[in-house]
Amino acid sequence: MPTTQPDTSLPSPPRWAVRAAHAAAFVTLPSGVWRLLLAAGFTAGYTEAGYEAMGFTGWGAVYVFGLTMGGELLALLTLGLVRPWGEVLPRWVPLVGGRRPNPRAVTVTASIGAAALTLVLTQFAFWWAFPHPDMTRLARTIAGILYLPLVAWGPLLAAVTLDHRHRRRRAEGL
């Protein structure tokens, strides 16, 4: 399979976009670490009854682990909007490695993702308004602090996506 070269007409991303992409990749880490602790058997602030009720053991632990890893991988994809490997997919990617993704599909997918993340994750800004009865007060505070960065994921992805689209349009002369 021939390897496509990166589009050299595409302007380099501005520093703010690179920083925003990295921030988007990092905002999932605090809550992810907390979830991994839960999957590993630490109650992480839940009462014993609350931990049991949440089902963090057995297949529940597998689900929480998968949710965390999936979220981290999706967050890392934001870097593809500002890095060369986002212009030409790495060769090791099955079926599409070495090819250039459709820019419109990238923009649409990232835009839908940014909107969905913003819609779903904004609730964590109000974590303290809905206390969980099966968590200690300290754990509610710590979990709230760990989940609060997720609120920024959608807007960060949206900003990087808009920059990517703008740079693409400029390269195409539109």
Tokens 């030409």 belong to which residue? 88
User: Does the pLDDT of residue 36 top 80, yes or no?
Assistant: yes
pTM listed for this prediction: 0.86
Centroid of chain to Cα 173? 31
> Rounded to a whole number, what is the distance in angstroms from the first to the last CA of the chain?
31
Query: Residue 114's pLDDT is what?
Result: 97
For 6-20, what is each residue's pLDDT tens digit? 556 678 899 999 999
| pLDDT for residue 50 | 81
pLDDT in tens, 105-148: 999 999 999 999 999 999 988 887 777 788 888 888 888 899 99
**Three-class HEC string of 119-163:** HHHHHHHHHHHCCCCCECHHHHHHHHHHHHHHHHHHHHHHHHHHH
Q: Tokens at residue 31, please?
A: 């809550």
Q: Token pair for residue 67?
A: 């949710």
pLDDT, mean of residues 29-43: 91
Give 16's DSSP letter: H
Tally the residues of the chain: 174
